[in-house]
Amino acid sequence: MGLLGDRVLEALLTAEPGKPFGDLLAMHGPVVPGEIDLLAERARDSSPRVRRNATVLLGLARSDDRETVLRVLAHETGDPAVFALAAGALRDGAAIARERPALVREALRDEDAKVAAAAVRLAFDVPEAGDALAATLADPRLVVRRAVVALAAERGPGSLESALRAMLEDPSARGEIALGELYAALVASDDPRTGEAVSRSLASATSSDRNQLATALRSARGTWVRPFLLGQVHVDGPWRWTALALLAAAPDAPIADLVAICRDHLAARLAAGVPERDLGAEEGVRACANFLVLLAGVALPDLRAILDFATRWTP
């Protein structure tokens, strides 16, 4: 490493988090194998800032030795921030975290959002950190709260389910977290109260939130999902026809119920005297027509033919 490289690396080790660190990292470029030993040493420095930055750089290193160094560091350090950053960069970091739950709990409260976010991923696998993890849903930093919600969407809500459900119903509790993010975090729930909370929240959901809910429910495995969708298709609301499409695509679709709903809806709309070309643009008419034509298995020329099919259909 040249003199300039040495100076940039030293500046990186003492840099403030955020833009100062990022700018210097861009100037430095990738961490290379020849820097690993120095970074391993500086990750044990007397300065907390240097220890943290050295650990971050080890996590970014392009070297076969990095995992060995990070694993040793995670086992030996007493610094919660260094522990979270080191264990969080390892494929088996969760196993190490379960051996050192106190450090995970402390790291969740760290003032550095990068450290807290790394600890969030570890805490999902540490039962002893459950209450501290739940507390991060009220963290003043959006990046930390988002990390928790995103991980719940990836891994399932687990012990956070009740707190996440409460956020659905309380705008002040969720702050800048979008309803769509919470929907994705709760689709694996097996609590019927989740469906009730989602149903109530739809009145204030944006179209983006509702789209995210639809996307999440296409592969949802929570037991609240089917009762929720069945409830939605039987009442007028902003999500009725999306719910119908999702139910129709399910392996155990309630075909008879859906045919009856669509038959009655098409009959009512056709009886209203609105021209068919205008009816075809309505969300409910379009959703029902698509479902019934697919069920018929043949092309049907117009809405009256589709209604006739629905009227004649038997299970």
Mean pLDDT by 10 residues, the chain (315 residues): 67 88 88 91 95 94 89 96 96 94 95 92 91 91 91 90 93 90 92 93 90 88 89 89 93 94 96 89 94 94 95 93
Assess contact for 103 and 83: CB atoms under 8 A. yes
CB atoms inside a 10 Å sphere around CB 49: 16
User: Where are the extended beta strands (E) located within 146-201?
Assistant: none
pLDDT at 3: 44
Between CA 76 and CA 82 the distance in angstroms is: 10
pTM for the model? 0.78
What CA dihedral angle connects 227, 233, 238 and 242, to 10 degrees? 90
From the CA atom positions of the chain, what is the Rg in Å? 27
- Which is nearest to 257 in space by CA: 227, 216, 218? 227
pLDDT at 2: 45
- Which is nearest to 266 in space by CA: 227, 299, 294, 305? 305
Whole-angstrom CA distances from 63 to 9, 11, 71, 86, 241 are 17, 22, 14, 15, 53
Assess contact for 307 and 263: CB atoms under 8 A. yes
- Which is nearest to 202 in space by CA: 226, 173, 231, 163? 231
Whole-angstrom CA distances from 242 to 44, 214, 217, 273, 306 are 55, 7, 11, 25, 20
- Which is nearest to 285 in space by CA: 268, 308, 309? 268
pLDDT at 246: 94
CA atoms within 13 A on the CB side of 300: 19
The angle, 0 to 180 degrees and rounded to 10, between the axes of the packed helices 113-123 and 101-108 is: 140
- To which H or E segment does residue 195 belong? helix 192-201
